Amino acid sequence: MSDATPDAPFVRYEVQDGFAVLTLDSPHNRNALSSKLVTELLAGLENAAADSAVRGVVLTHTGNTFCAGADLKEALDADPAAAADIRTGWMVRVLRDILELPKPVIARIDGNVRAGGMGIVGACDIAVAGRGSSFALTEARLGLAPFVISLTLLPRLTSRAAGRYFQTGETFDVAEAERTGLISIAADDPAAEVKRLISELRKSSPQGLAESKRLTTAATLAEVARSATGLAKRSGSFFGTPDVIEGMTAFFQRRPPSWAE
């Protein structure tokens, strides 16, 4: 576990078979999007983009959670409004950097994905998940909504699935994630499946990959440019409201919120 010492990285970077492997390695908080993890993730994506020897990126994780979304403990320790603005800005940048990277990004998941982690999966070009993986959009249960991450989730999920899971916060399994379009492939061995996909991607030229990706991400990037600022402001405006205060308090106290009793 890389979080054994304070200076250990939360995102490990290595190059294997011409692909940069970015491993979210902060299992103590379920790979939540803390300031340290986000900073290192953005740096890793930048390094991969700049390295001509890197043909693509594999985004994976240690522990039983790919990414749990925002680091609520870190947010709680700061001014809520200011923290919300900073975190939504981080989320927009992470999503945009994945979408704009002129190389394929593969999510390799073998665990749980929640909240903001779902948006990251939606931004990736290909997502492979193990059979034991689970998924949920829990924002509504905290008095919020998946504002910014809707930019990458709505193009992926069927409209019926979005209408259901955005609002219920239900946990769903890998078969449902594949059926509704959130992931590309449900695999018995996600590492082996990603290795197979890498061998297929290496048959395409860097230019062919970049231009093909540009076609598939153009509409989402246009929506990011058009709507991200407004969605980020809407997200930030809800922190400090009675529902969010109650939702977060209940979450940390491990009890149902008042509206669920």
The residues spanned by each domain of the chain are 2-190
Class of domain 2-190: alpha beta
- What is the rounded distance in angstroms from the CA atom of residue 124 to the CA atom of residue 103? 10
Backbone angles phi, psi at 128, to 5 degrees: -115, 130
pLDDT by residue (tens digit) across 167-201?
999 999 999 999 999 999 999 999 999 999 999 99
Q: Which residues contact 218 (CB under 8 A, 6 or more apart)?
A: none
Q: Distance from first CA to last CA of the chain, Å, rounded?
A: 38
- Could you tell me whether strands 56-61 and 19-24 are parallel, antiparallel, or unpaired per DSSP bridges? parallel
Residues 32-72 pLDDT 10s: 999 999 999 999 999 999 999 999 999 999 999 999 998 87
Cα separation, 69 vs 29, in Å, equals: 10
**CB contact at 8 A, 9 and 3:** no
